[in-house]
Structure formats: structure tokens, C-alpha cells
Amino acid sequence: MNRLLDFIAKRKLVAGIAILVIILISGFYIFQRIRAPQAESKKVERGDVKQELSLSGEIDAFEKANLSFQTGGLVSWIGVKEGDYVYRFQGIASLDQRSARKSLEKQLLSYLLQRSAFDEVREENLNRTPEQAINNEMKRILERNQWNLELAVNSVEMQDLVVQLSSIYSPIEGIVTEVNTPNPGVNVAPFTTQFVVVNPRTIYFNVTADQTEVVDLKRETRGKIVFDAYPEEEVSGEVIDVSFTPRVDEIGTVYDVRVSLNKDNLQFKYLLGMTGDITVVTQEKKNVLLLPLEFVKTDEKGRYVYIDSQKREKKYVEVGIEGEEVIELKGIEEGTMVYD
């Protein structure tokens, strides 16, 4: 009897273990199926899409003047400091003119002497011109007389030009942004930039575009600019010029594109060199078939979508404008369910 009871107990234990194993295996498979992610789906729908191009650049100015002395010498007067606002033709600085003015006086005296000699020769030759000379000798005398007078006049004019070039005048109005010689009493060399003047009312946004991007930019193309200094503010801009030749100091083929700012900048809010980005719409279509970008795949045959979540059936499609989040599709019907 005891042996029978032991046998029955063992059979129950084995049966219990078997049932437990079956329950665990079934639960594992059920859990796995529950955990298995379902393929995301999306219907092909109609909507609007636009293709945008984003380019980086910085503020520059059309009116910008680098000022230098045309002759070297001792600086005797400086009329501006960095940050001053100057007007067109306003005096900026001057060299010591004492030597130049003495030379001018000397040339003027030489001219007066030559003028006196000129008149005397003319009187001796009956006030004739070289064309009216009665013989070759008189003609040569009158020609030399005329040439000597012209040399004296040229000498005076050249020395007067030296006096004029010893001063710097601003050719534009604007802000003095650089002063390399802030104090008088210093000797300077010719053609070395001493002052820089920038007109803040002529600023523009200069961006660079490579050869694949510049073809999408035309004059009057509009865009939105966001400066790094003012990230919460959008400024509208319009392309006013696309460089015909590329930059020579860049790697690759890069072109300058100038964009006007619809701001007067009277308060000097936008400063030279400020960086930012402009976004322009290069293409736009309305009421076309669209899908989110992640649903459109690519292989060696082209672009395709999955139209069956189980069989992973591919359907090849044509694509059009690619926006930031969606892409235009052709070759598929509206309402078709596709899977990621």
C-alpha cells in the first residue's frame, strides 16, 4: 500500500512539473509577442511641402573706407577717435605741412620768375606764337619759352597736390571703427591704413554658397535671418547680388551672396561681423501626396515604401520635393497605408 502511495505521489509531482514547464513556455511566448514592437504605419496624404536652404554668413557693409596718407611724414593733427561718427568730406587727420608749404611758396616764386621771362620773350618777338613765327629760329625760341612756363605751372600744381594729400578726409559718412595712430607726433609711412570708417546704414548680410547651392539663389529671393546675437528674433532679407566668380581663398567652389536687411540700423543694433543663418524657400508645392521622411527607404533600385507590415513588401515610388519632415511622392495612391 505504501509503495502504491509513493508511486502516485511521484506521478503527481512529475505531472505538476510538466504542467509548470508548459505554463512557463507558453507565458514566455505570449510575453514575447506582447513585447514585440508593432510596425509604425502612416497613410499617404495630401498636403503642402516646401524645400528650404540654410546658409551661414556675417554682416558686412557696402560703404567701408580704409584711409591712409599718400605721403609719409610727421602726424601733426588727429581730429577723431575710435567710435566717433563722421560725415562725408570731414577732416580726419593731417601731416606736418610746414615743409610742403615752403616748397609750394618756392615753386610759386619760380613760376612768377618764369612768367616774367615768358612775357619778356613774347614782347621781343612781337607777341607772336610759335605758329606765327617768321622763321625757324623764332619758332624754337617761342616754343622753349612756352614749355618753360608750362613746367613752372606743373611744378606749382604738383606741390599744391602734395599739400592737399598731407590731409585725410573721409569719403563717406559713418563710424570710425579703427584708429592705428591715435596721437600726433608720430611718423607714418605712406599707403598704410591709419583709419577705418564704416557706414552702418549700408550693412548687408554676406553668405557663402557652394556651386550646388548657389543655383537655387536668384535676385529677389527672400528669406528669414536669425543672428546668433539675437536668437529669438527673425529678420527678413532679400538676395540683391550673387557673385559671378567664386572666392579664390576657399577650398572648393564657393560664391558670395549678398542679402539686404530690411532694417534701417539707426540705433546700430546690428554690428559688423555679427554671424547668423538665413533660411530661404527654394521650392514649394501645394496639395501633393506626402509621407514622413522616415517611411521612405532607399536601395540600389531607388526609393521605396513598405505596403505590408508582415511580408515587408516593397513598392518603388518617385520622389519630388523633400522638406524638413515630409517628402513628395509619385506613383502611389492617396490613402495607401505604408509601414516603417
Per-residue pLDDT reduced to its tens digit, 60-73: 999 999 999 998 89
- Whether 245 shows a pLDDT value over 60: the answer reads yes
Per-residue pLDDT reduced to its tens digit, 298-328: 888 888 888 876 777 888 888 888 888 888 8
| Cα separation, 14 vs 20, whole angstroms | 10
Q: At what angle do helices 98-124 and 136-165 cross, to 10 degrees?
A: 160
49 or 154, greater pLDDT: 154
- Whether 80 shows a pLDDT value over 50: the answer reads yes
Q: What is the DSSP letter of 202?
A: G
Q: What is the DSSP letter of 39?
A: P
Per-residue pLDDT reduced to its tens digit, 9-34: 555 555 566 676 566 666 555 545 54
pLDDT grade, residue 128 (50/70/90)?
A: confident
106 or 24, greater pLDDT: 106
Give me the percent of the chain exceeding a pLDDT of 70.
88
- Whether 165 shows a pLDDT value over 60: the answer reads yes
Residues 6 or more apart in contact with residue 147 via CB below 8 angstroms: none
- Whether 195 shows a pLDDT value over 90: the answer reads yes
| Cα separation, 67 vs 171, whole angstroms | 9
Q: What mean pLDDT is reported for the chain?
A: 85
pLDDT grade, residue 288 (50/70/90)?
A: confident
6 or 107, greater pLDDT: 107
| Amino acid 99: pLDDT | 86
| Amino acid 20: pLDDT | 64
b/e code 300-316 from CB counts within 10 Å (16+ = b): eeeebbbbeeeeeeeee
| Amino acid 138: pLDDT | 84
| Amino acid 36: pLDDT | 45
Segment among 46-50, 68-72, 186-190, 276-280 with least mean pLDDT: 46-50
- Whether 289 shows a pLDDT value over 80: the answer reads yes
Calculate the CA 309 to chain-centre distance.
48
| Cα separation, 42 vs 63, whole angstroms | 54
Helix (H) or strand (E) holding 174: strand 174-179
Per-residue pLDDT reduced to its tens digit, 84-99: 999 999 999 999 998 8
- Whether 58 shows a pLDDT value over 70: the answer reads yes
Beta pairing partners, 48: none
pTM: 0.67
305 or 133, greater pLDDT: 305
242 or 15, greater pLDDT: 242
- Whether 8 shows a pLDDT value over 80: the answer reads no
- Whether 332 shows a pLDDT value over 60: the answer reads yes
Within the chain, how many helices (H) and strands (E) appear? Answer: 3, 20
Burial class (CB in 10 A: 0-12, 13-18, 19+), 57: buried
| Cα separation, 86 vs 283, whole angstroms | 45
- Whether 275 shows a pLDDT value over 90: the answer reads yes
